[in-house]
Amino acid sequence: MTTSHADELRLMLVNLEHDGGPEPSPGVLPERWRQAYEGILAPRMPDWLAVTELTYSQTGPRSSTEDIAAATRRWDAAQRSLGMRGFRAPMGQGRNPTGLLVRESTFTIHADYEHRFIWRTPPTNVVIGLPDVPETPIVTASFHGSFCSPQGREREYEELTALVDKVKAQHGRDPDRSRAGCWLFGDTNEYPVPTGEVVPEIDWASPDITDLVHRRHRARRQSDGTWKSCTFLDELMTDCGMHDPARFAARRNDKPEALNATAGHRAIGQGGGRRIDRGYMDAWTVQAVEDVNVIDMTGVSDHHALEVVLSRPALVEALRRTFEPLAAGELVA
């Protein structure tokens, strides 16, 4: 079905490397930040945007007055340049916090919640709604999994299932139980299960893998001495009935380029480009996906941006649950 721009919504995920860098001088935004926000993001007019590595847009409790002022300037500039309302998670142990921006002409804001514990980098969790379907909230989050601990990521990602639980997919259309949509987008620091992927699986035994610390961060050593890539989040979300919109675009809309690599192109000895940056959507709203684009950020960031284009009419029907949910694991099998 062909739709007008008014009939489309855009969800985006961007990991701008270290927030584009520090201010070259007080009050001056760095060039890479301007290229990302003003040159790439603003023209695409996202309705919902997950951001990671807000290194200079958020501060911790011991930050100086100057750092707080600089972070406020930058976060205000992000909201102005995009015409969106922003939310930031608190700082964790990691130095690259997450954020989320919402276009208020598209969505209503219901609530935002803090997740301070467990996470190395806390997620930004904002509950929104589509005015057409006010009775169905959409639980959304921007997250960034621990870069250095497979075990730590597993604990973090188990916490995400508390948000997925709001969907109540197991109750279908039962009017006596609450229901919600759910969108979780982030830098997973893990890989998708290899079934149907266009990016070849990493051969951890290859002599080209020279970054052994990275291997330990992204793979598990098996009892026979071989290494298996970390795919815990992908398996977990699939088990819980969530779906990767890029897979939906590739499998259902004949858009294999949706599965292109998003990160790892510049890294040496780590196995090449990988589909690290991903989203997960509930079994109804994922069926509103029309297209998924991997947006080239070469020269601006070490990660490419992800754009998910939704049909607004289909999203309305999905939130009303007027059709059956996509079966768990259907896009992976």
Q: What is the 3-state secondary structure (H, E, C) of 156-219?
A: HHHHHHHHHHHHCHHHCCCCCCCCCEEEEEEECCCCCCCCCCCCCCCCCCCCCCCCHHHHHHHE
Give me the pLDDT at residue 6, please.
76
Looking at per-residue confidence, does 228 or 174 come out higher? 228
Confidence of residue 1 (pLDDT cuts 50, 70, 90): very low
Looking at per-residue confidence, does 124 or 4 come out higher? 124
Compute the average pLDDT of residues 95-105: 97
Confidence of residue 43 (pLDDT cuts 50, 70, 90): very high
Question: Is residue 171's pLDDT more than 50?
Answer: no
Compute the average pLDDT of residues 26-30: 96
The span from the CA of 146 to the CA of 57, in Å, is: 19
β-bridge pairing 227-229 and 277-281: unpaired
Compute the average pLDDT of residues 161-176: 71
Compute the average pLDDT of residues 96-123: 96
Among 99, 23, 40, smallest CA distance to 297 is for: 40
Compute the average pLDDT of residues 70-78: 98
Confidence of residue 333 (pLDDT cuts 50, 70, 90): confident
- What's the pLDDT tens digit per position in 113-151? 999 899 999 999 999 999 999 999 999 999 999 999 999
Question: Is residue 44's pLDDT more than 50?
Answer: yes
Compute the average pLDDT of residues 174-202: 89
Instruction: List the single range of 63-77, 161-175, 189-203, 310-324 with lowest mean pLDDT.
Output: 161-175
| pTM assigned to the model | 0.95
Give me the pLDDT at residue 266, please.
87
Residue 137, CA distances (Å) to 103, 153, 179 in order: 16, 27, 8
* First vs last C-alpha separation in the chain: 26
Question: Is residue 176's pLDDT more than 50?
Answer: no
Question: Is residue 221's pLDDT more than 60?
Answer: yes
Compute the average pLDDT of residues 167-180: 62
Give me the pLDDT at residue 19, please.
98
Confidence of residue 199 (pLDDT cuts 50, 70, 90): very high
Give me the pLDDT at residue 173, please.
52
Q: What is the 3-state secondary structure (H, E, C) of the chain?
A: CCCCHHHEEEEEEEECHHHHCCCCCCCCCCHHHHHHHHHHHHHHCCCEEEEECCCCCCCCCCCCHHHHHHHHHHHHHHHHHHCCEEEECCCCCCCCCCEEEECCCCCEEEEEECCCCCCCCCCEEEEEECCCCCCCEEEEEEEECCCCCHHHHHHHHHHHHHHHHHHCHHHCCCCCCCCCEEEEEEECCCCCCCCCCCCCCCCCCCCCCCCHHHHHHHEEECCCCCEEECCHHHHHHHHCCCECHHHHHHHHCCCHHHHCCCECCCCCCCCCCECCEEEEECCCHHHHEEEEEEECCCCCCCECEEEEEEEHHHHHHHHHCCCCCCCCCCCCC
Residue 139, CA distances (Å) to 28, 68, 124, 136, 257 in order: 35, 29, 11, 10, 27
Question: Is residue 179's pLDDT more than 80?
Answer: yes
